[in-house]
A and B are shown apart, each in its own frame.
Chain A
Amino acid sequence: MLELCDIEKSYIGGTGRVPVLRGVSLRVGPGETVALTGESGSGKSTLLHLCAGLDLPDAGALCLQGRDISQTDDSTRARLRRGTVGLVFQQFNLIPSLDVAANLAFQARLAGRHDPAWQATLAVRLGLDGLLDRYPEQLSGGQQQRVAIGRTLAAKPALILADEPTGNLDEETGDAVLELMLALVAETGAGLLMVTHSPRLAARLGRRAHLKGGRLD
């Protein structure tokens, strides 16, 4: 489903070109859960953003469902993000102008796969059924992250990319949210690539990939 071959990426910094990824190769299959770990600045988020088609690699091939997205234009990548990928951010990144129900439905409706029954089930499973008419600013951090996960899962994406989804939550809430996410991912059969700093959380996923100096160990 997701296949990265010799991905290279660098940024222009104050001292010139700074290489971030130096020939990274990785594969995530359907139903597979992979933890991406590494020190701060090791390029975890950059790799995740490339996988989502939010940015383009300098070199290498990045295939999503058999298609090399590094060779596609902006519109195609946007369509892939809508239809194939689900993103969960550390800071939740909900749409502040929409209430919980509209946030949950947002990506599914963008993808043209809105399933109200599945959304209702998700709302109950995520404990959001009593909060549907609230706005993001009226929710706690844990509630907001559950909405973000629900938004992603409601669209039933083939691949979920999560960037430290529990990094902003306390340990107890973070564990509960991750548990729920893993259970729902298993139910939908989606692949999951999750960035995390925590070895404890990484251990709960099927496989672990560690980034160091721009390369996978």
Chain B
Amino acid sequence: MRRTALSALLSHWRRHPLQLVSVLLGLALATALWSGVQAINTEARASYARAAGILAQDRLERLQPADGQRFPQEVYVSLRRAGWAVTPVVEGRVFHDGHGVIVLGVDPLTAPRGAMPGAVRAGGDFATFLGPPGLGYAAPRTIAEMEGAEGLPPLSPAPDMVPGVVMMDVGVAQRLLRAEGQMDRLLLSPDQPKGHAPLETVAPELERHPPQAEVDAAQLSGSFHLNLTAFGFLSFAVGLFIVHSAIGLAFEQRRPLFRTLRALGLPVKTLVGLLAAEVVLLALLAGLAGVGLGYAIAAVLLPDVAASLRGLYGAVVPGSLTLRPEWWLGGLAMALAGALGAAGQSLWRLWRLPLLAPAQPRAWARASARGLARQGALAILLALGALAAGLWGRGIVAGFVLLGAMLLAAALALPGVLALLLAGAERVSRRVLTHWFWADTRQQLPGLSLALMALLLALSANIGVGTMVSSFRLTFTGWLDQRLASEFYATARTREEARALHDWLLPRSDAVLPIWHIEGPVLGQRVEIYGVADHRTYPDHWPILTGEPDLWQSLAKGQGALINEQMWRRGAVKLGDRLTLPGGAGRRIVGVYSDYGNPRGQVIIGVDDLVALYPEVDRRRFAVRIDPARLSALRKDLIREFGLPEDNMIDQARVKEISLKVFERTFAVTAALNVLTMGVAGFAMFTSLLTLSTLRLPQLAPVWALGLTRRRLAWLELLRAALLAVLTMAVALPVGVLLAWVLLTVINVAAFGWRLPMFLFPGDWLWLSGLALLAGALAAAWPAWRLARIAPSGLLKVFADER
């Protein structure tokens, strides 16, 4: 019985292959975008976990000074002598040809068992590893990137190493990082011998810290991944509109068959079960295709994401994908859940359908005022929910609740809004054809509403994200112009060279400004503390958001500190508060400055103050104020006089170029997802119109019979689709602007810690309107072409079929 019934049910798809393609492709696209984003996130998380797992730092406690600065090697020696089982770590960054790597200096002899990478353990060539020039282990890709880098020891490939990290002997690393006789931290072995002297006695300057479960990058980039997930989910939702529409139509068209099967003795339970099995089968087929497609999308996008993560957060994520079971199983599960969710309403309706209910398909494509009202009421409820989240919600999750509720409310309200607009147009139209056109368009709304809702979501997202990115770009460019006031930046190789460089540059430039900084804990987070010179460059250019009138004098006197917007917006401190710097010194907060593109907190104090507080501060970097026309000569002179490598010199234009490149790559993924979502929405519109075109014939045939040509009707169909797309764009515009406002004032502040001014770009909207018009017209082109070319007998069938 089941077999026969299933065969009858499946025969529908044989007769309606287009619907089958709609369901499969819709679900596959939805799954693809979702699983593509998840693949990227999974890869990044795995990479963070591997980074945290280097040297087993995710499992081992560590000893470090309270101010986070380096400490003398003698402290380590004292601890070992006192019986402590500790192993030293020196860490720093080395740059080459636009790539930066983390140099990790370790001692393989004292490292806990299993903490060293496999290649180091298996290689066992300790003599080469320890003795000059030493040996570094790194991922093969990292070795390729660092080829020709000065100062690095020979590198050996270690496939299990995290990309972007080079591991070497602590002594070699100390020399490379100019940290001779210094260490960053000590890792505590879990098996500590009993009876050793207490830490306070042997090394009072060190504190005991718990294992680092996550690397900094994982914490910092959480918001970035949440953004990606939100976009992936939006794309998934847009794709589900197609599936819901196609499955709904297939159910409606099979109502007579359902009644017949039930009348012939098939229990409703079995019927629903068979249909659910059919949905599961479709979902699995489409899910597999979607996961495959998602893999391809992720593979294309991952290099950009990896570059963004590296540029923004210093997180190193490989640019290639690994096929992880949790990811593709998750993709399949989403496809199943999405398909069952999309079919749920239809299955429920069938479950409750009385046996003697009319077998004719319901007025599937007919407007139902009650349905619109219900949808409108739900839209109002969601809009109120969004308002509540906006007024009382805090943090990024509340921000996304606000966004989700707002977008869903707009989508649900769209058919009602369009129906009102079309009814108004119908009322004021005078010509008979125009009157029919509006009335007929209104009648098509329910059949097209899901596709139009998908288009609304895609357009709103496009406007919102586009406005945010463009606003960001405009602000960021202006901010770069302000902040990068100095024309040239040079980094000496040693402290001595730095002193000589400074003295040499002074008479040959307008000013030489130190760019010296340390890193350390402030307000519980690791931040950068910079020192600035008492020079006009800063009051003239520095982008101050708020501050006391004499803030630069306060800095010069060693009394005040500036903090960046990120620290300020986290809300822990405000202007006038006293800020405790690493080591315990306190400074009054006298101003806040904007610091786009930096996810971390940052503090600025006077440079003399910095040197006094942290005498060991790295003093090798300078900004040089100079006439740009003399830059080329200066560069040549520096190479001639000091032999300074090209990597140690950079001019303002190049810094701006790099910064803007990082910026563009950061939003390249968003832009790509935007385009893909638009594509899915366009496809939703196409499948809806194509499906409806077969249902349209009974409505169009009488009009044709009454004296309109097929060609004219086809043009009107084309015009109708384009018009609905443009009207949807008109509704999407305020929604998109609101979305941009939420992104700029809520999401960005929560995710990155900075708030940007919003700029409007009507030119972009005009372009997008044209795109929407084109999408509508293209989606309708094929059905319209078919209508224009249909043989009269095809239309006459409408009259004959009804007999």
Contact = CB atoms under 8 A, between A and B. Distances in A.
Contacts of A52: 705
A112 to B, nearest CB: 9
Interface string A79-121: 1111100010111011111100010011101110010000000
A131 B701 CA distance: 25
Interface in B667-707: 698-699, 701-707
B481 interface: no
Given A11-B793, A55-B793, A98 B702 contact: no
B796 A49 contact: yes
Contact of B803 (A11, A83, A90, A111): A90
Interface string B301-327: 000000000000000000000000000
A75 B709 CA distance: 6
Interface residues of B, number: 34
A102 B439 CA distance: 10
A109 B432 contact: yes
A175 interface: no
B362 to A, nearest CB: 12
Contact of A54 (B433, B699, B705): B705
Given A96-B443, A102-B439, A163-B799, A89 B702 contact: yes
A137 interface: yes
Given A78-B708, A107-B707, A91 B436 contact: no
Interface in A47-67: 49, 52, 54-56
B793 A45 contact: no
A111 B702 contact: no
A79 B712 CA distance: 12
Given A98-B436, A110-B432, A110-B433, A137 B707 contact: no
Nearest to A94: B702
A188 to B, nearest CB: 18
A133 interface: no
B706 A55 contact: no
A74 B431 CA distance: 23
Contacts of B710: 74
B203 interface: no
A153 B698 CA distance: 22
B706 A107 contact: yes
A208 to B, nearest CB: 21
B711 interface: yes
A49 B794 CA distance: 12
Nearest to B803: A90
B802 interface: yes
A106 B437 CA distance: 12
Interface string B783-803: 000000000110110111011
A90 B802 CA distance: 8
A96 B705 contact: no
Given A54-B792, A55-B793, A137-B366, A95 B703 contact: yes
B440 interface: yes
A75 B711 CA distance: 9
Interface string B703-727: 1111111111000000000000000
A82 B793 CA distance: 19
8 contacts: A52-B705, A74-B709, A89-B799, A95-B702, A106-B706, A107-B707, A110-B432, A111-B707
